Amino acid sequence: MFEKRGREKVMAFVMAGGEGSRLRPLTTGRCKPAVPFGSRYRIVDFVLSNLVNSNIRSIYLLVQYKPQSLIEHIRKAWTISALFSDQFVTVVPPQMTKENALFGGTADAVYQSLNLMDRHRPDLVAVFGADHIYRMDVRQMVRFHCESQADATVAALPVPLDQASGFGVIETGADGCIRGFQEKPANPRPMPSDPRRAYASMGNYLFNADFLRAVLEDAHQRGETDFGQHVLPRLTDTNRIFAYDFATNEVPGAKPYEERGYWRDVGTLDAYFEAHQDVLGLEPRFDAFNPQWPIYSSHYQGPTARVVQGNLDNVLLGAATIVHGAQVRNSILRREVVVEPGAVIEDCVIMDYARIGAGAKLRHAIIDRHNVIAPGAQIGYDLARDREAGYHITEGGMVVVPLGDVRYFSRGENRIGGGYSE
């Protein structure tokens, strides 16, 4: 056990290779971490911002499924420092060894990348997912890990007992030491301190570096590929594996009205839309405005949004968006969206470079980037007709229009290639 309290050198692996099949068609041409969120972000921006704000700035992003959109975003948005060699966000694809062509799971992905640890010689290694919307001061988890003299620590979210069966559940003792894992159990075991709630695994892990290397070498020999399913459950009887209570995490600058311990797994289209509702309103459950803990993203150079007449109620507008004589309610319009006169938009997410034609009516819809909605069109009013048009309908009745022609931009005279680069 090392003794560097407060001075631990931490390196991070971010798991960004997820296919996100339940988010299709939004993930038809991009991986889940690259899916846009809110008025200007991508899902991956949240975990990267948490790490950077926590002064963890040696970050390897492990990619696999349709990564090009994500790679372009990282290249444009996440150049941390050219002066310091230990401050970077670097994209790492599968190493294509003879044994493994692709990452077989989270543990296998890190195993294939063990050589990267040799370069930096960290004390601790964070292995975090890139699929969630949340804020977290990771250094508080590091402090807990060191004080517990843990070999590994798993971030745990307290959830109501009647909802816990949808998660991987962690069973702990009163000291937080993990005794076992349950994968989506019918009868989840409650927290020792609260019989009404259970610990759900957030898929975020912290390891002592030497321990991680030894564990992965052993797991490789055993054919184990995933931390949550294989590696960690086997180690609970022989090693000090602890659960870190995410509800105790205090993020600087959080508002009193925000939901404490906010964390959303946007694994389905309906959950994705509901998370967008959480950022709307005067006092949202998750407020993107926090100068003490900013969410970083692309350096967009376009102008501010513009409203020329219209009726807007509870709306987020991305940069360079134009609303002209339209009605927009309870919706998010990302960058360079154009809404023409007479259009009505309600409970929608309209992504970048889309144009909503005059008199069009949209409700309960997600419109992916580079789309043109024809004047007078109606989406979300007749689901059978929307399905016939080739749109995806979620279980909750949301209509999803897939990615349009990527050459199309909503502003400019010819509208082909006429937008600002992110």
Q: What is the pLDDT of residue 90?
A: 92
Average pLDDT of 175-195? 86
The DSSP element (H or E) to which 107 belongs, if any, is helix 106-112
Question: Would you say how long the chain is, in residues?
Answer: 422
Q: What is the pLDDT of residue 357?
A: 96
Task: List the chain domain ranges.
Answer: 10-265, 306-401
CB-CB contact of 225 with 180 (8 Å): no
Task: State yes or no: pLDDT of 1 exceeds 50.
Answer: no
Question: pLDDT: is 80 or 30 the higher one?
Answer: 30
Segment 297-351, tens digit of pLDDT: 988 888 999 999 999 999 999 999 999 999 999 999 999 999 999 999 999 999 9
**Percentage, residues of the chain above pLDDT 90:** 66
CA distances from 130 to 142, 255, 267 (A): 19, 24, 11
CA distances from 343 to 264, 338, 352, 355, 360 (A): 31, 10, 17, 11, 5
Segment 83-121, tens digit of pLDDT: 777 888 999 988 766 566 777 688 888 988 898 988 889
Superfamily of domain 306-401: Hexapeptide repeat proteins (2.160.10.10)
| Cis ω for the linkage preceding 94 (within 30 of 0) | no
Superfamily of domain 10-265: Spore Coat Polysaccharide Biosynthesis Protein SpsA; Chain A (3.90.550.10)
Q: Which pLDDT band holds residue 237 (cuts at 50, 70, 90)? A: confident
- Does the fold of domain 306-401 match that of domain 10-265? no
Amino acid at 283: E
CA-only gyration radius of the chain, Å = 22
Segment 199-219, tens digit of pLDDT: 999 989 999 999 999 999 988
Distance CA 270, CA 397 (A): 8
- Between 64-78, 196-210, 224-238, the lowest mean confidence (pLDDT) is in 224-238
Scanning the structure block, which residue is given the tokens 């804020």?
Answer: 135
Average pLDDT of 367-388? 96
Nearest one of 130, 172, 136 to 35, comparing CA atoms:
130
In eight-state DSSP terms, residue 83 is S
